[in-house]
Amino acid sequence: MAITEGRNQRNHHLYDAAPPAAVTVPAPRAHTETLPAGTEPQTTQGPARFAWAAARIALGWVFLWAFLDKMFGFGFATPAAKAWINGGSPTTGFLKGTADNTLGGLFNALAGQPWVDWLFMTGLAGIGTALILGIGMRIAATTGTLLLLMMWAAALPLTTNPFMDDHIVYAIVLIGLALANAGNTLGLGTIWTNTTLVRRLPILK
């Protein structure tokens, strides 16, 4: 009898025990749902993000300086007499020199065309500014990669390497900068991402 009562008491205690706490599983995030301000994902953390930021600013200056030198003819790659503001063509010098290359016929025909000059100079200025400020990294990476690949194609065949040159390296770095959210460090990337315009058009990040 005592054994039976002991078992009943133990069973009674089991039934009286509090049920385990429920585990709350967060609902999956919809594709159109935006993250709260200041919580954008960071794919690069620690000291590496400063290295990416430095690479971003340095590469931005390469683009922006090319624009300034071709615009005003500071004498580094473009003499003053051939500056764009003095009537020179920023694409003629490079593209005319590719006449004997693999795609020389195509690029030689584009050299000096006003619309080509405008696209080229706008690209240099826009990409350089975006990289230095850390805004519009996706567009800067996309347009910058296209521009660099076209310049690489115009130089074929390469004389120092079967296929690799600085244009390809710069393009890879540009893609890495966008994927690493490099504009958020030492740049305006976070502020830019949280603007109404970019929230409506994420492609502008």
Torsion (CA) 110, 119, 156, 92 in degrees, nearest 10: 50
pLDDT tens digits for 72-116? 999 999 999 999 999 999 999 888 888 788 898 899 899 999 999
- Residues of the chain with pLDDT > 70: what percent? 79
Residue 4 is predicted with a pLDDT of 46
Burial 51-86 (b: 16+ CB within 10 A, else e): ebbebbbebbeebbebbbbbbebeeeebeeebbbee
Domain boundaries, the chain: 59-204
Whole-Å CA distances, 2 to 6, 7, 17, 162, 185: 6, 9, 23, 92, 73
Higher pLDDT residue, 72 or 21? 72
Alpha helices (runs of H) in the chain, residue ranges in sequence order: 2-16, 48-72, 92-96, 104-110, 114-133, 137-154, 166-179, 189-193, 196-200
Residue 42 is predicted with a pLDDT of 53
- Among positive and negative, which fits the CA dihedral 51, 147, 123, 98? positive
Q: Are 123 and 147 in contact (CB under 8 A)?
A: yes
Answer whether residue 190 shows pLDDT above 50.
yes
Higher pLDDT residue, 85 or 26? 85
Whole-Å CA distances, 120 to 48, 54, 111, 181, 183: 32, 25, 11, 26, 23
| Statement: the pTM of the whole predicted model exceeds 0.85 | no
